[in-house]
Amino acid sequence: MTDTATATTTADVARRPVRETADGTPDAGVDVTKLRKEILAELTYSVGRSPETASVRDWFVATALAVRDRIVDRWVIEHDSEHARPKKRVYYLSLEFLIGRMLFDALHNLGLTEATREALAGLGVDLDQVRGAEPDAALGNGGLGRLAACFMDSMASIGVPAFGYGIRYDHGLFRQGMRDGWQQEYPEDWLSFGNPWEFAHPEVDYPIGFGGYVEQVNDGGKPKHIWRPAEKVEAVAFDMPVVGWRGRHVNTLRLWSARAPDPISLDAFNRGDYVGALADRVRIESISKVLYPSDETPNGQELRLRQEFMFASASLQDLVRRHIEDYGDLRTLPDHVAIQLNDTHPSIAVPELMRILVDLHDLPWAEAWQITVATFSYTNHTLLPEALESWPVSLMERLLPRHMQIIYLINALELEGARGKRPGDDALLASISLIEEGGGRRVRMGVLAFVGSHKVNGVSALHTELMKQTVFRDLHGLHPHRITNKTNGITFRRWLAQCNPRMTQILIDAVGVEVLDDPSRLERLIPMARDSALQEALYAAKRENKMELARIVADRNDVWVDPDALFDVQIKRIHEYKRQLLNILETVAIYNAMRAQPMRAWMPRVKIFAGKAAASYRQAKLIIKLANDVAKVVNSDPTVRGLLKVAFLPNYNVSLAEVIIPAADLSEQISTAGMEASGTGNMKLALNGALTIGTLDGANVEIKEHVGDDHIFIFGLTAQEVEARKRKGFDARAAVDASPTLKQVLDAIRDGVFSPDDPGRYRELVDGLLDHDNFLVTADFDAYFAAQRRVYKLWRDRAAWMNSSIINTANMGWFSSDRTIGEYASEIWDVKPTLG
Ligand SMILES: *Cc1c(COP(=O)(O)O)cnc(C)c1O
């Protein structure tokens, strides 16, 4: 069982993925010579290079194209043949798809990884280098966008016929650089060398209107509304095939790009006004230029609303056209179409579908509304009040005048219904109204999505419960069967098999190759958790992964970390509610303790941070600077050398996550309880054998239930207690006075111990914490510090630690996104998966 775990030393051998042969996976019968010929043909005829002059990037493009050809055969069959037409399709509308690199996804799911490695090796080319030449498709900010990507993989894998609809941003999430420890944002440019996975369809384009007025005409005694937009944009389709596990099913990710109907103003050009000649085009095409840089703060930007409407409208026009071609009649739409709104960003689709049904297809309002509600469902991702999307009525009236009328009518009818059910309850009416009054009237997109959907889901059990009690309390009262929970999941294909081949091979040897198809089979590890051979094999694999990460840390941060130290990682967007600050405070506390007693038998530890802060989020950027300042002092202090290292790795993205997660021992999931809707990083890390230190927040609660209380380090206030503390008014100064450890830490930071170049840098941060500790960092500090001591007590006993680690992996099967998608399919979409 230990062969791959111990025999691998160099990175290229190490990255070798699992052997897929015994069970008749496609890999077994692949003709390597043929594959090599195909790659060479692509290199010559599509890239236009000879093997002698080809760069790594050329080889990547040639390989991707050769693989893509194999996907396309099946794709075309599934989409163009009459017989293959599915009864019902899912349309997943998301403003974000955080996909990452795609080559290994495709290779792994087609069972072509080993064959491709061999085919390229015969040409003197290393597959792992080729893999590294692919840019990350970073069309998302964080968890929400990554969830959409995992769902696309799962829908293709269990056979849910689906389209993902989104925007083809020219520039995805910014690249994060560091200057003197401060975050710098640089534009991301994933398309600069083309995208070999996509098919441009300039002929698939839909007109998107903005502005103008609504004309009311008399249509045989009935009033009819015609929207006359002032401005037209074209939405053009770019398709990427999404191949599922074992290549049995292929779905489509269709991303829209904005195009100006008139590419240039010749008049202006001929006058010599070359910039003016392109001005309209630049303005219009800016709609799909950049991903919005934040998913947690409202950004009242007109361009954002234009993005939302363009992609919602184009997607609806596309699916309505397909439905009419296939079935001829829009009244059967809910029988054949399920539309999932990933957060409120696409919820303008609700009035847009009403407009299509009522204005363009002459359906009566009531019938159109029934169809709409039966077709849509909505996933809520946050309870943070500042992140609940709303748009000024004035902006909506100017940009989307007809939609605003429709929203008013939806609202009037909803309020009438509520009045019927609860007469005289004005507070209720105010709380469920689509229009927020006072301080400038605004449209509440969450309410719009809620009333326009037959199901509304939260993303973890706790989050769904809190949804019922807080943001949607009154709507839940009126529609008690609408809210449902669908706890998030992750695709094990990317987050175990591809990113951690060493561990995967050991798991296959232990429980059988069937585990690749059935993650519940991981439970067979439970009785083996104390088996010392298994423990040692997994420990050795983890150590190899840590060695690889150590090389990256040395390379990028110029710090050497010991692969035998405990790797304590917190990798996620930088946000106050995620409490990276709490982790930094604990780091300083342990640093102080080590300096006070350098001769004690400390266990060596490495604190690893990674994550981006929204460009406009000052406090988050200051927290990054603090982590880097602490790192600088700690890493250069001879007293703690070898005992404590701190590294903030720049530019966190999917590819970096794929390297850090397999190398993690401890997973930090320490958000203020009640604030993290689910988390998915927590799942990736636990699956890869990291133990969790965390609060009872989001899916941590369910992870705890699955792995058991003895195998997770839970600490801190519960969501209820947080609520109670906030209501009472929490006194941070009293908490700090009661904790000498914390007091010493805060004093050191405030007094400039970590910022000798600018001693006042953190004064405001520390004073702010004492005056209004909104995220209860000081309240949870002692409990967190104590939980960390429990971590080290277990870490000292390797057998006990590995037992817990194996128990974690063994019980994570339920967190597969295949399970999540199965639940959406049966309980929300009414679609039967054809596979899995
Ligand atoms: C999984 C993932 C996330 C989400 O992480 P959380 O810890 O759940 O916030 C964000 N970014 C990337 C790149 C991811 O892979």
Atom of ligand 1 nearest to the CA of 657: 15
| Distances, alpha carbon 685 to alpha carbons 117, 551, 703, 774, in Å | 28, 20, 11, 28
Question: Is pLDDT at 4 greater than 60 in this prediction?
Answer: no
Q: Which of 139, 295, 487, 573 to mutate to test the pocket of ligand 1 (most atoms within 8 A of CB)?
A: 573
Higher pLDDT, 21 or 104: 104
Q: Which of 580, 654, 672 to mutate to test the pocket of ligand 1 (most atoms within 8 A of CB)?
A: 654
pTM: 0.95
- Contact at 8 Å (CB) between 347 and 311? no
Question: Is pLDDT at 227 greater than 80 in this prediction?
Answer: yes
pLDDT (tens digit, 9 = 90+) per residue, 681-697?
A: 999 999 999 999 999 99
- Contact at 8 Å (CB) between 284 and 260? yes
Residue 289 Cα to ligand 1 midpoint, Å, equals 23
Residue 680 Cα to ligand 1 midpoint, Å, equals 6
| Cα three-residue angle 244-699-468, rounded to 5 degrees | 110
Write down the pLDDT at residue 77.
Answer: 75
Write down the pLDDT at residue 785.
Answer: 98
Superfamily of domain 85-100+136-205+231-389+445-488: Glycogen Phosphorylase B; (3.40.50.2000)
Residue 144 Cα to ligand 1 midpoint, Å, equals 8
Minimum mean pLDDT range among 288-302, 312-326, 388-402 = 288-302
Minimum mean pLDDT range among 67-81, 235-249, 659-673 = 67-81
Q: Which of 96, 101, 146 to mutate to test the pocket of ligand 1 (most atoms within 8 A of CB)?
A: 146
Atom of ligand 1 nearest to the CA of 571: 7
Show Cβ contacts of residue 149 under 8 Å, excluding neighbours closer than 6 positions: 97, 98, 99, 100, 140
Write down the pLDDT at residue 228.
Answer: 98
| Cα three-residue angle 609-488-100, rounded to 5 degrees | 55
Mean pLDDT for the stretch of residues 71-77: 84
| Consecutive H or E run containing 202 | strand 199-210
Q: Delimit the CATH 3.40.50.2000 region(s) of the chain.
A: 85-100+136-205+231-389+445-488, 534-815
- Which residue in this structure is represented by tokens 């441009």? 200
Residue 366 Cα to ligand 1 midpoint, Å, equals 41
CA 9 remoteness from chain centre = 32
Confidence of residue 85 (pLDDT cuts 50, 70, 90): confident
- Both tokens of 419, joined, read 């009045």
Q: Give the residue, by CA position, lying nearest to ligand 1 atom 4.
A: 143
Question: Is pLDDT at 289 greater than 60 in this prediction?
Answer: yes
Tell me which residues have their CB closer than 6 angstroms to ligand 1. Answer: 142-143, 146, 572-573, 653-654, 657, 679-681, 684
534-815: CATH architecture: 3-Layer(aba) Sandwich (3.40)
720 vs 673: CA distance, rounded Å: 8
229 vs 355: CA distance, rounded Å: 14
Residue 143 Cα to ligand 1 midpoint, Å, equals 5
- Contact at 8 Å (CB) between 228 and 333? no
Dihedral angle sign, alpha carbons of residues 25, 31, 32, 35: negative
Give me the amino acid identity at 732: A
Q: Give the residue, by CA position, lying nearest to ligand 1 atom 1.
A: 681
Atom of ligand 1 nearest to the CA of 678: 8
| Consecutive H or E run containing 566 | strand 566-571
Residue 704 Cα to ligand 1 midpoint, Å, equals 19
Atom of ligand 1 nearest to the CA of 100: 13
191 vs 341: CA distance, rounded Å: 27
Write down the pLDDT at residue 25.
Answer: 43
Instruction: Give 396: exposed, middle or buried? Use CB within 10 Å, 0-12, 13-18, 19+.
Output: buried
Minimum mean pLDDT range among 100-114, 293-307, 564-578 = 293-307
Q: Give the residue, by CA position, lying nearest to ligand 1 atom 10.
A: 142
- Count CB neighbours of 263 within 10 A: 12
Atom of ligand 1 nearest to the CA of 679: 8
Write down the pLDDT at residue 30.
Answer: 87
Confidence of residue 297 (pLDDT cuts 50, 70, 90): low
**Catalytic residues, which ones?**
381, 572-573, 578, 680, 684
Residue 142 Cα to ligand 1 midpoint, Å, equals 5
DSSP 8-state secondary structure symbol assigned to residue 512: -
Show Cβ contacts of residue 291 under 8 Å, excluding neighbours closer than 6 positions: 96, 138, 139, 140, 141, 167, 169, 171, 172, 173
Write down the pLDDT at residue 535.
Answer: 98
Write down the pLDDT at residue 83.
Answer: 57
- Both tokens of 258, joined, read 């904005």
pLDDT (tens digit, 9 = 90+) per residue, 457-501?
A: 999 999 999 999 999 999 999 999 999 999 999 999 999 999 999
Q: Give the residue, by CA position, lying nearest to ligand 1 atom 6.
A: 681
